[in-house]
Structures are given as structure tokens and as C-alpha cells.
Structure 1
């Protein structure tokens, strides 16, 4: 009888995965790969515990879980064996699969989607001491215990039966109800459930809308600078594109060209300059839409981070004729990896948008929708937002003080708060080069170059955010940024 050697087991103390899980992972991998065969006897819990220098109970609990899963079985005197028929399907080892391809894929692929300019954010950003990166979160401000509780609630039997079913083209009713009754009224918007579509983040909503509204005969206007994903999305529709330069009030309606079909705009918090569009300009944009018969797509991201003053009413709340399609997101206010957003539009538009989404991905994961619905309905969301506003207000003040003290010019900031600043460097400065040099100092910033369309020469603008950097490190980080700039330009 084969006896499994304990030497196949190895515990990595640097992993966040628990010891029991690592034992189970090693065992399952060995069974699936055929390293250990059905009927083989596992090392005794005492022997394996001594080899790994861990508690015997840890090994026993791991073995018991593997028994419940069907990978191991217990025989006389608590001896554990690999099950005779473990729940695995092994590929036929007699089949040989080619590792390469002789096809010229460049001639087969009819569209190129890798066209968006990259905003470089290292995946290991947390190891840098001064991460001034937008869209990254300080996990200390989030209530992980509450989220875990809501995830467990969503796995209760009644919820699980609902969640495990195929939603087809529908969305979680509880989440849609919260959006209708709490989220949208806070922005001055009233909508029915049939006027809301849950999406995989705001970007998914913007992609759906752009492909519903635009084709090769269309003309669309968007902001410059603007998020590179938006320009790439609009480019893929084949529409004629006009990038309209923004100022300290966002997109200027008086400069809109004639004969346009749609305008994509971020009025509350322009991306990336953080400018807030004044109420007079918002009304002028709506009047232009009525006069010229075009549709407005409003991306209302980050309005929740309002700690300087209440956010201005959403553009859609001023819309009397249904010309504004509204895009919102929970990813910015909860955590970026959530990837849950929503689209608000007239029912006929949502009907078509739902059909298009169904062809792409059916619906966002049901368990994620229900967990979020619980988190919102039980008040955890409001508590987290309150905590974030207090902390971000402190960081905002620290950033303002440090930037002014070091003589760094703020080119754009949100009127109500937000989490970032748009910075203008000296004439001739290359923000890409600055970002590379600062990275060597442990400082992470975002070059403004990817946000401009067809810009020639170096870009002197960059974005710095305070959602991901501790308050106590802000002043020192800004000092390093200013020192690097002075090294190249003096003064």
C-alpha cells in the first residue's frame, strides 16, 4: 500500500491563506495531478503536524474538510486515505496537445481593442511609501466585518435559492429598490425600476450606451482631457469624435459644434481635472441639447465624497425632457474591485440596454448584487461614507497646505471635495519622466499624458490623489515631488 510522504507538503508563512487551506490545496493538487493515487494512505495527523511544526488539530481539521469534500476517506483507527473515486476529472494523458499555433492571427482578427492609452498603476502599489494614486482605497476605512456579514446573509437559504438561479436579463430587486429609493433621490433624480439597469461598473454602462446611441454616421463630443477608456470606447463605435477642451468649469456648452448626436460629460467631478460644472453652465448644456436635439450621457462618479459643501444636483435632476442618460457607480464609494454600477434612462432605452447586456454577460453576479443590497440597506454604506468623508477632509486640508507650502500649482480640484488634485508643472516638464523618477523615491503619481487626445510633446500635467496614502505621509510625499520638480526647473 502506498503511503504519502509528508515531504510533499510545504507551508508558506507569507501567504494570507490559512494553514488549513494550504494543506487542503496541496492535497487536492496532488490528487488532481496524479502525484498521489486513489487508495494511498495519508501521513498521520501527528506525523504531518510534527513535520510542518504546527498544531495536530490544524491537520485534523484540514483532513476532515477533505473527507467532507470527498477527496479523503477514514478507515480503521482514524487513518486517512485518498478516496477510491475522488471528485476529479483527469485529462486523457494519451492525448497530445500542440503548444503553438501556425495561424497568423493579425490577419484573422478584424478589430483591435487594445487602443486605450494606459494609466500606469503598479499592482504592488501598497509597498510604496507615498502612493498618490487615484482610484485606490485605504482598506482601513472600510468595514470588512460588515461586508462579510452581508455576504453571509446573501448565502442564507432563501437568498441562495434566488441567487443561484439564472436572472436571465433581470437584476436583483433589492439592489434596484435601494437605487430607486435612496441613491437617486439623494441626487434629485426619480426613476422607476424599469428605468434602471445594473452594470459591471460605470465603464460597462458607458460602453452599452455608446453602442446604443452611436454608429459610423454619428457625431459625438467628449471632454479633453478625459479618461482614455471613454475615448477608446467612442472610437470603437465608428462615430466621428470631437474632443472639446475643458476649463475650470468643465465642458463649455457654447463651444459645442453643430450637428452632434451625443455629448459624454462628467459635470460633478470632471475626469481628470476634478472641475465642477456650475449650475448656469449645466442649464446651458441642457438648453443646447433641446435646441440641437442631442443626448447627454452623464457620468456622476464620486459625488459621495462631499465634505467641503453639498454636491451640486445631478445634471439629470435638471432635465425636463429625458435627454440625460445617467451613469452611477458603487465602485468608487465602496471599493474599486466591486465593479458594480448602474444606468438610469427612459424605459425604452433600458429595454434595449438590457438586451445588449444579456448578449455580453447576462447579468452581474447575483451574490455580489445581493451582498451589496444588504450592505446598503442595513446602513453600513452610509457609515463607511461618513468615515471616509471625515478622513478625506483631513487629507484634503493636508494636501492643500503642503502643495501651497511647496509652491506646486493646483490646476483643478473639486468644489465639494473629491479625492484628487490636477497639478500643472512648469512649462516643458515631462510628467512621464517625473513619474518614473518619483517611483525611485517611493512616490507614485499619475502622468496626465494618457488623458489628452493626440497631444504632441511632453505633458506637464499630472494627478495626485489622497484616497490611498495615510495622512501622516502626505506632507513628506509632496515635499519629495516638489524637490524633484525643482531639480529640473529650479525655483
Structure 2
């Protein structure tokens, strides 16, 4: 690959000759790793014009670098970084500009230090990845997604692809959500009540920013989705974790004075508990008594392969107090980053204005490609295929866990993609997870899901969304052996 001439700048403070400064500039680029072996340097004429020096000066500098094996000359092709050039130096040894800012004082608000764990980027190389939230390439409809993406890139959709829509969304995607996705959950909404987001997490962040202040109180499930707790902690609101039971969030444990209730009734995260219909009505009544709002994260409702999903809270809401969060990122693929908020028009108006001030709108190409994939029926076919595969994997996993005596702490009554597990007392699942990595197995420790300063350490999550059914028995056997 050719290195752009714009990457080169001379040190104006140096007292050395021009030729030496050019040599030093290129050598430092190689030692820092910016210029890599085999890459082509600009021609002597182009670099000379860019730096404002004579061509012979650049040629002499190149010649010296060839002599010291930093560069190699290839006939009439030009100069390249030599395959024998020195290895880049460790970052700690490189000279960088000194940072004299006292960042402990300069930073007004910290966003680091949350509970959200780092997930392995190389999860796919593990043979037994019981990892949650990743796409299974063997199930995804690559061919039709590619066709939809190409269709979105066509001239007919040029405006949808390239225009700055400011605070608006792709009308085709919004129409599909309003006419097809939401009615399946019993929800009726106008386009003015729908906002497309960069995934469910962005939707939760927008809801928190619009609804909460430092004086307001939010109630969350405990354990809960760790990224949501991070978002609410950063909002500086008063935060009350409410312990969940086998049916999800107990309404009678929500304290008086709560302004916003965050819940995952379809598949409680991470326990997978499904909130019964009677409790859903009780939760709505409790919110009505307190004049509180409810933010319903309805993730994984599509993965109801055991029985039909329960009605969404939003569909039972007669007061307009439920804000609904949906996502296509989990059901299609995480990198898509497309979700949506559904709520009363005044709330959506404020959320839209906030989104516009941060990122305008999600990329037009992704919105239009997703709209085609959904409207042409490919999405429904993908959900059916995925549900069938998940049902098989769940059955195999349950049998394997029963065989090896592993304890299931929570399982989705309607389906889902994971089990919430409990190891014996005294087992630290973070230590367990590290041990299992060496045995080609990935599991998710449960500690980050809990709000307590000293949370239980013997819970963990096992997902079957990214592991073939034939590998599950051996993977579960390795987990059981590691627990001992």
C-alpha cells in the first residue's frame, strides 16, 4: 500500500540539515509502527514538493535509508519500507509530546469504572463459546442481507442514503415498525411516537437523559443489565435496585417516590424470568399509584419458541406511562446498532431533539437496508430459522446440564437464548471463567449484573446463541469438570 505524502512533516525546531531531518522523520515513522514493512513511500518528486525542499535532498535521504536497511529500492517502482527494517519500538519508549494537563481536575464527570465487562473480541476462535449476544454466522441470511444492502445503495435510494435528515428517520423503516413489528406486541403507535436509535442501549440512554435528574429516583431490577445500571449511575439520579424473583420485578417492592421504573418483562436480564400477565397488570397499577413512568426493554421477545410471548406492558398501558424499547441488533446482528423507542409524542419529541444534538440520526444506509430486509420477509424467515436452532440447542443443553448436575437458576418460560446458572457456594465464577478459557470454553461471570458492593460471585450465564448443538455436551462437561 502506498503511504500518502500528507503523512510527512518536518520538525521545524530541529537544527539538523534538511537531509538529516528527512531521514529522522522516516526512521521515526518506521520505529513507531506508522510506516510498515512493504509499504511504498511517496516519490522523491512528490515528497520534495510537499516538504518544500529540493528533490535531490529527498533522494539523498532515501539513499542513506536504503544503506541502513530502513528502505529498499525496487527498480523503477520506487522506495519501500524494507522487510529487514527494525521492529517498531514499544510505545513506552517512543518520544511523545508531554501532557501537562492535570486531568484529575480537568475532567468534570467520569464515565469509566462501570460494571460493564470487557467481552473477548476473539470469541469465535473458541470451540465452546457459551457467550451471549453475538451473531451466529451459520444462521444468518448473508445472501439476502447483501442483496438488501445493494438495493439500498441504488440510485433510487440515493437521497435516503446520502441526505442529512437532521432529526428524522427512514420513513420505510418507521412504517414497518408501526405496521408490522409493534402490532405483534399489541402496540399501536403513530410515526410521531416512534424514534429509531443506535440500538437498545442508546434508547435506554435517551430515556434516562430525558426522564431523570439528580432529584429523581429510578428503580431497576437486581440483578439487571449492567450497562443500564452504568447509564443510570452516570445520570446521577437516585437509584434503587429491587431484587427480582422467579417472576421478574415484584411491584410491591418498588419504593414510594420512584419516578421511573426500568424493567425487562419478556426475558428478565440476566435471569430470563418472564413476568406473568397478572404481575404486569400489578406493575402498571403500582406505577399509576405513584404517578411513575415505566421503561420497558422488550428484548428477545422474538425468541419465544416454547410458547407465544406475553403481551407487552405497552399494550396493556391505558395511561401512556410506558415507554417501549425494542431492538433489531440482537435478532439480526449486534453490529447493526438499530433499535427504537416508542412513547407518547411529547417524550419522543424531546428524545428526538436530544438524539439530533448528539448524532443527528442513525446512518441512512443501515436504516434503508434494514427496511428492505424486514419488508421483504427475510427477517421473519431468519427468526423462524433461528428459533428452530435455539430450541434444539436449548434441549441439548438442558440434557447435558442435568447429566452433569449443573444448577439452573433461571430459564426463560417462552424461550430466549441463555440460561442463568448458579455454581456452588465458594465458587468464584470470574476465576472459573479464566480457568475455562484455557480449556477453550467461554462463560459469562454473573458479578457485574448485581448492584451490591459485595455481590454474590457464584452466578454465571450460559448462552446457546453462538455454539452449534453438537458441541454443547462436551462444553458443558468441561464446565462441570472445572467446577469440580
TM range, normalised to the smaller chain?
0.7 to 0.9
- Equivalence map 1:390-401=2 (5 Å): 390-401=388-399
Deviation at 1:80, TM superposition (A): 10
Residue equivalent to 2:103:
105
CA RMSD of aligned residues (A): 2.2
Asked if structure 1 preserves the Cα contact closer than 8 Å seen for 2:160 and 2:368, the reply is no
Aligned counterparts of 1:123 and 1:326: Cα–Cα separation in 2: 30
Deviation readout 1:381-413 (Å, 9 max, x if unpaired): 011111101111100100110111111111101
CA distance in 1, matches of 2:348, 2:416: 29
CA contact (8 A) 2:160 2:170 kept: no
> Which has the larger displacement, 477-486 or 111-120?
111-120
1:456 to 1:146, Cα distance in 2 relative to 1, 3 A: same
With over 3 angstroms needed to count, the CA separation of the structure-2 counterparts of 1:458 and 1:288, relative to structure 1, is closer
Q: Tell me which residue corresponds to 1:368.
A: 366
| Residue of 316, 322, 330 corresponding to 2:320 | 322
Deviation of 1:471 (Å): 0.8
Q: Which whole-Å CA distance do the structure 2 matches of 1:463 and 1:413 have between them?
A: 10
> Which residue, 30, 42, 51 being the options, matches 1:34?
42
Match of 2:294 in 1: 296
Structure 2 counterparts to residues 346-385 of structure 1, below 5 A:
346-385=344-383
Q: CA deviation at 1:318?
A: 0.5
State how far apart, in whole Å, the 2-side matches of 1:37 and 1:465 are: 58
1:417 to 394, 410, 415: 415
Matches within 5 A, 1:229-248: 229-248=227-246
Distance in 2 (CA, whole Å) between partners of 1:237 and 1:197 is 21
Is the 8 Å Cα contact of residues 228 and 451 (structure 1) preserved in structure 2?
Answer: yes
1:161 is displaced (CA, Å) by 2.7
2: CA distance between counterparts of 1:126 and 1:210?
33
Residue by residue over 1:420-443, the C-alpha shift from the partner in whole angstroms, topping out at 9 and shown as x without a partner, is: 000011112111111111111111
- In 1, the alpha carbon distance for the partners of 2:363 and 2:44 equals 36
Structure 2: gaps (5+ residues): 3-35, 48-75, 79-94
Question: Residue 251 of structure 1 is aligned with which of 241, 249, 259?
Answer: 249
C-alpha distance in 2 between matches for 1:481 and 1:102? 49
Tell me, yes or no, if the aligned pair for 1:431 and 1:458 is still in contact at 8 Å: no
- Classify the secondary structure of the residue corresponding to 1:221: strand
For residues 99 and 240 of structure 1, the distance between their equivalents in structure 2, rounded to whole angstroms, comes to 41
Structure 1 pair 207–368 and aligned structure 2 pair: CA distance change class (3 A): same
Residue 429 in structure 1 maps to residue 437 in structure 2: no
Matched residues in 2 for 1:362 and 1:421: separation?
37
Range moving further from structure 2, 98-107 or 187-196: 98-107
Structure 1 unaligned regions, length at least 5: 5-25, 40-78, 82-96, 487-491
| Cα displacement (A) at 1:458 | 5.2
- Aligned residue in 2 for 1:18: none
How many residues align? The count is 408
Q: Is the 8 A contact 1:435 1:444 kept in 2?
A: yes
Q: Counterpart of 2:225? A: 227
Greater mean deviation of Cα atoms: 362-371 or 153-162: 153-162
For 2:141, the equivalent position in structure 1 comes to 143
Question: Normalising by structure 2, what TM-score?
Answer: 0.81
Corresponding residue of 1:158: 156
Correspondence for 1:177: 175
Alignment partners' CA distance in 1, 2:426 and 2:278: 35
> CA separation of 1:29/1:199 partners in 2, compared to 1, >3 Å: closer, same or farther?
farther
